[in-house]
Chains A and B, each alone.
Chain A
């Protein structure tokens, strides 16, 4: 299955790094979309058949946890695979993301290997 991936981060630097990391994997990636916050992400999810989301938490407008909440509250997106990639490493935030259905959690700073490992694990579990 070809993957439509969505990267959500208000930092264009992080989006560029993640695009590069994903492009270097053997994953069958069809397209990589980018959004700078949760609001933009929801529009992209609505208009595209997104199969995997990599999202930051701390973003302006709609943040990553709110994005997760809105996805889980929408039946057609409730099983969408979401991996959080964020500096928010507190136990409370991790628990909140997991309870909202995040399939993985990577703390910044990250290595390309950590991203690949988490994405692969997430796709296998899906």
Chain B
């Protein structure tokens, strides 16, 4: 998969979702490849899996404060601490961003399934994707707030002969979570 297409597709999807759902214009910084994820100090992370002829995972992560601001804007209510509504808003952001990435990539990669998003809030945890080492990382800025998007995609060698996508699962491992 052409890296430039991935960068352009994820960047556009993120801009569209922030702009349409939150009225926020974001800056997408230069993307880079990351082999291993450093431990997160304190973050809200939402992840979602894609599966079909290609498999992958999309992740969004930001501070609890920014997650609360996203939920406050999206739901037009005040959230000062991470609760179910905040986690749900983050899950929906991941669903919309990577759902749109999926739709765009399907034109060249064939049908893909999207998993139900998973959200994690904790301290000192690391995420890694089983069998996949390289992530494309997109640093985003919205005013003074920062978010990180990560995306990895690889051919599904087990399903190369099958064309029908199933429900995706995130092959994701989370280690050392402290609530």
Contacts and interface: CB of A to CB of B under 8 A. Distances in A.
A12 B88 contact: yes
Contacts of A108: 95-96, 99-100
A60 B116 CA distance: 7
Given A88-B103, A108-B96, A109-B21, A13 B89 contact: yes
Given A58-B116, A109-B20, A14 B92 contact: yes
Interface residues of B, number: 24
A3 to B, nearest CB: 23
Q: Looking at A10, A14, A92, A110, which has the most chain B CB atoms within 10 Å of its CB?
A: A14
B51 to A, nearest CB: 13
Given A13-B88, A110-B20, A87 B100 contact: yes
A11 B91 contact: yes
B116 A12 contact: no
B25 interface: no
Say whether chain A's binding surface is mostly helix, strand, loop, or mixed.
loop
A103 to B, nearest CB: 21
B111 A20 contact: no
A10 B116 contact: yes
Q: Looking at A10, A12, A20, A87, which has the most chain B CB atoms within 10 Å of its CB?
A: A87
Interface of B: 16-17, 20-21, 71, 74-76, 84-85, 88-89, 91-92, 95-96, 99-100, 102-103, 106, 111, 114, 116
